[in-house]
Amino acid sequence: MHNYTIAQLRKMLDAKEFSSVELTQHYLNRIHQHQDTLNAFITICDETALQQAAEADKRIQKGDIEPLTGIPLAQKDIFCTKGIKTTCASKMLDNFIAPYESTLTQQFLNAGAVMLGKTNMDEFAMGSSNENSFYGPTKNPWDVTTVPGGSSGGSSAAVAALLSPGATASDTGGSIRQPAGLTGICGIKPTYGSISRYGMIAFASSLDQAGPMARTAEDLAILLNCMTGFDPKDSTSVDHPHDDYTTQLNQSLKGLRIGIPVDFFDDRLNPDMANTIQEAIRVFETQGATIHDIHLPHNHAAIAAYYVIAPAECSSNLARFDGVRYGYRCNNPENLLDLYRRSRSEGFGAEVKRRIMVGTYALSSKVYDACYLKAQKIRRLITQDFIEAFKNVDMIMGPTSPSTAFKLGERCQDPVQMYLSDMYTIAVNLAGLPGASIPAGFINNMPVGLQIIGHYFDEARMMGIAHQFQQLTDWHLQVPSNFK
């Protein structure tokens, strides 16, 4: 059962080939079987999942069926789930039971989907390798000595290892696309504001965006249909017409104008990675697409701008975790100041502390204009570069990451090298554009991701383009040998 896509499972559930309870139990068994190896989950929801599956079976019997009714899915542990622990992979929230449901998880509940559990991640979504989790690192199913990417590494590993047919994730600077690329699955960060952030624990509010992970572009489209929509509870939610993201899956690639940023193909990109990406893009060319070199003049400044803006927002958002209202509290504080200081120093991990300190400094009066204000100006220039590019091309394509998955521990002592893992994804978040990663080949038996960047609210066409690519290739069908 675990070898089928969401679209295939829908047909099989409707045909009564098996029940949602049977399907859910099968996935739960696989999760428990491989948890010690991969550490993909923080919380496994056996009892809740089987109850939800039983309810879904009743709906299916009555004919009250939506595309995700009875489909088991995994939720990243950044989304609040009422009555179930929500930790953000931090000691700070290790004892936090959310008193309400996030809009995103509520949409899945309304659709009759089943929650298998909450997936592992980098603490407060800060990281590119899933090594910053309080609960230990997640391993890449293709090679358990390597990272699955981050911060949504638990979700990507769960989907890649066939522990779940799909999963939710979040992307602040590449945290959906980069792990999707490193584990050989599909993932999309939609246009900023298209999915509600209500109940998603904030890292950087102007950059964070939820999105889905799955094995195929068709499954991403199905998941997006459930996830998107205006939410009055979220001040960053955009009131935009809700597309059916499956409507353009069968569109032709003929006449598609693909922009290739020459800035991406420099000496920082692994040569084998460059060749693999270029081979993938040639597939589109054989179907009538045209290739155009483009320039993104300010892309080189994206990482510098991001690591001012994101930590600044992190510093503000994480100020609420002070040991007073909820979350971790130190033992026997001497006074209020000691409570604040020790609760935060004991509750946060090293990377979170680093970013809080950087952000606090960037917002200080002495350097605000030189750091934070300048970074925001660069952000605007980066956005304008993309807008200009889309006047001449329909889609932009390039590598998702500069290399395949790196070894566990390899970059932990070098934050700059770790940050460069997201060098091709960060600009998309700064501009608020939609970006996806789909499997495009292998180098030394490790997956390579092709990044597709679209114009605002052009996700349906992006999914169609990705789906057509997957009709011509089989990279997305490859499964790690130990998890078949």
Chain centre distance of CA 72: 18
| Rounded to 5°, angle at Cα 26 from 20 and 30 | 145
* Cα–Cα distance measured from residue 262 to residue 171, given in angstroms and rounded to the nearest whole number: 24
Tokens found for residue 464 = 């169609």
| Rounded to 5°, angle at Cα 116 from 111 and 117 | 115
CA distances from 385 to 300, 305, 428, 436, 457 (A): 12, 15, 11, 19, 18
**Tokens 């400094």 correspond to what residue?**
361
Q: Are 216 and 7 in contact (CB under 8 A)?
A: yes
Query: Could you check whether the bond before residue 151 is cis, i.e. omega within 30 degrees of 0?
Result: yes
Please give the order of strands across the beta sheet that includes 72-76. 41-44, 114-119, 72-76, 166-171, 209-214, 186-189, 435-443, 446-453, 395-399, 257-261, 290-294
* Cα–Cα distance measured from residue 78 to residue 86, given in angstroms and rounded to the nearest whole number: 7
What sign does the CA torsion over 414, 416, 422, 424 have? negative
Residues whose CB falls within 8 Å of the CB of residue 447, separated by 6 or more in sequence, listed in order: 142, 181, 182, 183, 184, 404, 405, 439, 441, 475, 478
* Cα–Cα distance measured from residue 226 to residue 431, given in angstroms and rounded to the nearest whole number: 24
Measured in degrees and rounded to the nearest 5, phi and psi for residue 25 equal -60, -35
* Cα–Cα distance measured from residue 417 to residue 419, given in angstroms and rounded to the nearest whole number: 5
252 by DSSP, 3-state: which? Answer: coil
Q: Are 470 and 216 in contact (CB under 8 A)?
A: yes
Residues across the chain: 484
Tokens found for residue 95 = 């004892």
Question: Which has the closest alpha carbon to 479: 263, 181, 161?
Answer: 161
Question: Which has the closest alpha carbon to 88: 176, 205, 199, 228?
Answer: 199
Q: What residues are labeled active site?
A: 76, 151, 175
